[in-house]
């Protein structure tokens, strides 16, 4: 790929990422949340209580980031952390009633953001986007170990 094409592609992705984050920040502010916290709450709503380490993996975040988020969400009353029955060093994280109610408002914000993001795109393109974006994410995932023949 030549530089001009690479530059256009990378700039488009960078700007989308920045503007997407700025917009979700605005949508989450009335809920008292910061970006990333909504993803944690949605993950718990989808999959139920889980050990904090598993939650970190599911969110693609480093454990210290999840620890900080869980502390703040616990202080706000949206989640509770309890010692794991099999490992007292691990914490099980689960939604409280407050967190469950908040998830419904988060879903509304995510729908608004998604609708704004794909405005003007044909439905077949919108339907393909999750798979395309997942492929892009996988391609740049720095945690993935590549074999020399894959480069």
Domain with 24 in it: what CATH number?
1.10.10.10
Q: Which two tokens stand for residue 138?
A: 């996988």
The answer on pLDDT for 12 being more than 90 is yes
The answer on pLDDT for 69 being more than 80 is yes
- Residue entry with tokens 């704004």: 116
End-to-end CA distance of the chain, in Å?
Answer: 14
pLDDT of residue 141: 82
pLDDT of residue 151: 47
What kind and span of H or E run contains 93? strand 91-95
> Does residue 115 belong to any structural domain of this protein?
yes
How many whole angstroms separate alpha carbon 109 and alpha carbon 103? Answer: 10
> Does residue 64 belong to any structural domain of this protein?
yes
| 3-class state of residue 51 by DSSP | strand
pLDDT of residue 148: 46
Give percent above pLDDT 90 in the chain.
82
143 pLDDT band (50/70/90 cuts)? low
Q: pTM for the whole thing?
A: 0.85
Q: Which two tokens stand for residue 92?
A: 């099980």
> Does residue 35 belong to any structural domain of this protein?
yes
Please, which residues have CB within 8 angstroms of residue 32's CB and are 6 or more apart in sequence? 76
> Does residue 144 belong to any structural domain of this protein?
no
Residue 40, domain extent: 3-133
> Does residue 25 belong to any structural domain of this protein?
yes
> Does residue 69 belong to any structural domain of this protein?
yes
Q: How many domains does the chain have?
A: 1
């Amino acid at each position: 790929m030549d530089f001009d094409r690479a530059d256009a592609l990378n700039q488009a992705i960078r700007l989308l990422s920045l503007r997407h984050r700025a917009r979700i920040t605005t949508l989450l502010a009335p809920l008292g949340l910061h970006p990333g916290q909504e993803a944690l709450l949605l993950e718990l709503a989808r999959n139920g209580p889980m050990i904090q380490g598993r939650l970190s993996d599911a969110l693609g975040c480093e454990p210290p980031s999840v620890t900080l988020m869980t502390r703040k969400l616990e202080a706000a009353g949206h989640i509770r952390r309890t010692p794991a029955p099999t490992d007292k060093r691990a914490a099980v994280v689960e939604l409280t009633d407050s967190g469950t109610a908040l998830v419904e408002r988060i879903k509304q914000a995510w729908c608004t953001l998604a609708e704004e993001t794909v405005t003007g795109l044909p439905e077949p393109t919108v339907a393909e986007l999750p798979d395309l974006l997942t492929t892009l994410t996988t391609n740049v995932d720095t945690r993935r170990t590549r074999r020399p023949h894959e480069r």
